[in-house]
Amino acid sequence: MKKHNFNPGPSILPQYTIDETVKAIQNFSNTDLSLLEVSHRSKEFDAVMDETKALFKELLTVPEGYGVAFVGGGASTQFFHIPYNFLAKKAAYVNTGEWASRAIKEAKVFGEVDVIASSEDKNFSYIPKGYTIPKDADYLHLTSNNTIFGTELLEDINSPIPLISDMSSDIFSRPLDVSKYAMIYGGAQKNLAPAGLTFVIVREDFLGKAPRPLPTMVDYRTHIKNNSMYNTPPCVVVYSALMTLRWLKNLGGVAAMEKRNIEKANLLYSEIDRNKLFRGTVAKEDRSRMNVCFVMASGSEQLEEEFLNFAKGKALVGLKGHRSVGGFRASLYNALPLESVQLLVDTMKEFEAAH
């Protein structure tokens, strides 16, 4: 039976990406070799890397003066690469959840960290607003979409100091004004590709001023200058990313994707608000379009396990909430079709009628 995949990450990918990756694993670019066994220095793979970078830049309208690189280590490695490169004295961070907290922990290894706002007081159920950005900090770090807690900052804010954002779980979900940022980064495994690839977009005039000696692999210029092939890239994952980018372009790019994502999120949040058995956990104005967190309404808590099993019976999988929120989390990444959300909504209605 076809499954409806609401996993938070690694997560659903377009069927096109999976099918094309399988074909390339059988026979890559008519080489009669598998993508698993070709050299990353071959002209065929070079073409893959070039097209991946070009499409990535085109679909996000990355302006002149920015470098794009694909590196290893996940977003978690960027948590220390960023302060390594940019933290001279003090950096400002907004704490909006588990990933932001981990980024803060790593930055503290390199210097002073000013946590200028936090939503920890209410279990990260909202995005802090109205904070003052200190002009003497080296950069401001945000997490645009909080995958675990289901909050999202949908605005590209103006910052008087270089702005850095972890966009692991909402990249390519809406049009972005990249020019507002000094750097954007994230793991690929939510909206782009299988795990194993990290994307980095960085303004070139922000580079080259590191306050300490940088190991070659930590210096972003290494990866930009060497077309992300200073060391061996995960070729299969890069290929899958390219297939997702082609799929995205074919569907009309990020503007079309945003329309789909709004429609999907509205459909599910409306049902959460209407249905007497469930309630959302996040401040309405900060609700994420990518990760929808909800729990059983008060008085119905004992039905949680039963609902998960009921949903599983309808082939709806990956809905269990993260342990720090409990309840349910439906991840509605780009590749998830509207029909899967409709089926979840219908299932919630049916469950309500049965109780």
Ligand X SMILES: *Cc1c(COP(=O)(O)O)cnc(C)c1O
Q: Catalytic residue positions?
A: 99, 166, 190
Can you tell me which of 25, 46, 72, 74 binds ligand X, judged by CB under 6 A? Answer: 74
Site for ligand X contains 185 (CB under 6 A):
no
Instruction: Tell me which residues in 188-207 interact with ligand X (CB under 6 A).
Output: 190
Site for ligand X contains 169 (CB under 6 A):
yes
Write each residue from 6 to 45 as x if it is in contact with ligand X (CB under 6 A), else as -, in one continuous string. Answer: ---x------------------------------------
Site for ligand X contains 187 (CB under 6 A):
yes
CB of 9 to ligand X, least distance (A): 5
Can you tell me which of 20, 166, 258, 271 binds ligand X, judged by CB under 6 A? Answer: 166
Whichever of 7 and 169 has its CB closer to ligand X, that residue is: 169
Can you tell me which of 85, 165, 168, 281 binds ligand X, judged by CB under 6 A? Answer: 168
Tokens of 231: 């060391």
CB of 168 to ligand X, least distance (A): 4
Strand-strand pairing, 291-296 and 316-317: unpaired
Whichever of 71 and 348 has its CB closer to ligand X, that residue is: 71
Stretch that binds ligand X, among 35-43, 69-77, 174-182, 337-345 (CB under 6 A): 69-77
Whichever of 181 and 278 has its CB closer to ligand X, that residue is: 181
Footprint of ligand X (CB under 6 A): 9, 74-76, 99, 143, 147, 166, 168-169, 187, 190
